[in-house]
Structure 1
Amino acid sequence: MSAASVAEVEISKKALSVPPGTFRHTVLVAAKKFKSTWAELGKLLVQVRDEAKYEEWGHATFEAYCLKELHIKKQTALKLTRSFSFLAKHEAPEELQQQEFPEKAPAFEVVEVLADAEERGQLSPTEYKSLRDSIWSPEKSPTELKKEFTERFPRPPPEPPPESLQVRKLAQLARKLASELAGSRRVPNAVAERAAALADDVEELASSVTDA
């Protein structure tokens, strides 16, 4: 049985112990089918988080509730709530009603890219309006749209690690090389000794390097 199937079974079991018609039961049902109705679950999770419903249900944090009861990881819960909030922010209530939102919504992976772009300051409300038709009435597949928007709103390159960390890693590599050379019968002692001396020098350097 796949991990997804196991999660569905566990959610179904939990749903049997929760009174039907309650808000808690509604969230469980939405979690079970969120692949097709992600926005519905995103809307419910925003309410669970903002109203601290998880505390009423015996969980210390929103993340713990999502993981233990819904089998949804912290990062996934964040993506769902952020993506729903993105659409709710940019769409007028009457427009959402016409789209039968949140039962029907643009592909999750597409909205996620746009929500991330807005969070980084790359997507303005005007830009969203210019491309909204392409996500609500798409002529391209979600995969194509995700690729297109990812290229249009690229993530900034990651920050380089601190110099001290880089030098420490080099020192570890130098020591590992010296150890492997010393343990090889085919490597002359002189070569292994030079490698060990080099490792000593790099380790000494690493201990003196500090980040400004």
Structure 2
Amino acid sequence: MPDTVGMSAASVAETEIAKKALSVPPGTFRHTVLTAAKRFKSTWAELGKLLVQVRDEAKFEEWGYPSFETYCLKELHIKKQTALKLTRSFSFLTKHEPEEELTAQEFPQRAPAFEVIEVLADAEERGQLSPTEYKSLRDSIWSPEKNPAELKKEFAERFPRPPPEPPPESAQVRKLAQMARKLASELSGSRRIPNAVAERAAALAEDLEDIASGVTDA
């Protein structure tokens, strides 16, 4: 058994995947997916393509897993969110690229950087990117001379995420009440703070707690 002490999480995952691959017959589809998972950092498109097939054809059930997410986590050591990003990013390419491009032997090596496609897939999901706009960006996305980090930054600014939804009003008031109570407690425990100040803080905390108890989200 390999010594995993001091190894990074990624190294441990690779070791576990390699061990699993030894128990699966070489040349089978299952073995192909395991091999792709081991090297997916450099060839994300290969694994994304295979995972879409595993999911759509329910291969995970043949291999004894109750769900696609469980298969990814237990066998490939890929978290649910990562698997979702991989399948969504590859599916994005299938919508916008001809089949011969995706089935070409050199496709995994030529595919645009994962982080770039992820930004564009997000933008499309939000309705910010149209097929026509993708075509106008295609040359820069597929160009090996373009820096992926710069492209990601450019597209993230061009297709910004909407600001997050504010928390419910009741949660905001409860948080303020908790902060006020914490402040009052710290003030009362400080010898440098006059009692009158600490008492006012405690009264404020009590008032906010009363308000918080009556606030509901309509």
In the superposition, the TM-score normalised over structure 2's length comes to 0.93
Specify the SS of the correspondent of 2:107.
Answer: coil
Please give the residue correspondences for 1:55-134 in structure 2 after superposition, counting only pairs within 5 Å. 55-97=61-103, 100-134=106-140
In the superposition, the TM-score normalised over structure 1's length comes to 0.95
Q: Which residue number in structure 1 is paired with residue 12 of structure 2? A: 6
Q: CA deviation at 1:100?
A: 3.0
Unaligned runs of 5+ residues in structure 2 are 1-6
Q: Which residue number in structure 2 is paired with residue 146 of structure 1? A: 152
- The 4+ residue runs of structure 1 with deviation greater than 6 A are none
Q: What amino acid is the match of 2:100? A: E
Q: CA deviation at 1:120?
A: 0.5
* Matches of 1:7 and 1:132, distance apart in 2: 34
Q: What amino acid is the match of 2:156? A: T
Q: Which residue number in structure 1 is paired with residue 3 of structure 2? A: none
* Matches of 1:96 and 1:84, distance apart in 2: 9
Q: Which stretch shifts more, 7-16 or 44-53? A: 44-53
Q: CA deviation at 1:99?
A: 7.7
Q: CA deviation at 1:161?
A: 0.9
CA contact (8 A) 1:40 1:102 kept: yes
Specify the SS of the correspondent of 2:191.
Answer: coil
* Matches of 2:150 and 2:126, distance apart in 1: 22
Q: Which stretch shifts more, 161-170 or 103-112? A: 103-112
CA contact (8 A) 2:110 2:142 kept: no
Q: CA deviation at 1:104?
A: 2.8
CA contact (8 A) 2:17 2:77 kept: yes
Q: Which residue number in structure 2 is paired with residue 170 of structure 1? A: 176
Q: CA deviation at 1:30?
A: 0.3
Q: CA deviation at 1:2?
A: 1.4
Tell whether 2:41 aligns with 1:35. Answer: yes
* Matches of 1:98 and 1:127, distance apart in 2: 24
* Matches of 1:130 and 1:139, distance apart in 2: 17
CA contact (8 A) 2:115 2:148 kept: yes
Q: CA deviation at 1:96?
A: 3.4
User: What is the number of residues matched between the two proteins?
Assistant: 212
Specify the SS of the correspondent of 2:177.
Answer: helix
CA contact (8 A) 1:99 1:105 kept: no
Q: CA deviation at 1:73?
A: 0.9
CA contact (8 A) 2:128 2:159 kept: yes
Q: What amino acid is the match of 1:29? A: T
* Matches of 1:119 and 1:137, distance apart in 2: 24
* Matches of 1:115 and 1:105, distance apart in 2: 14
* Matches of 1:209 and 1:16, distance apart in 2: 59
Q: What amino acid is the match of 2:69? A: E
CA contact (8 A) 1:27 1:41 kept: yes
Q: What amino acid is the match of 2:10? A: A
Q: CA deviation at 1:109?
A: 0.6
What do the CA deviations read for 1:90-149 (whole angstroms, capped 9, x no partner)?
011134356832443111111111111001000000000111011112432000100011
CA spacing shift, 1:135–1:114, aligned 2, 3 Å = same
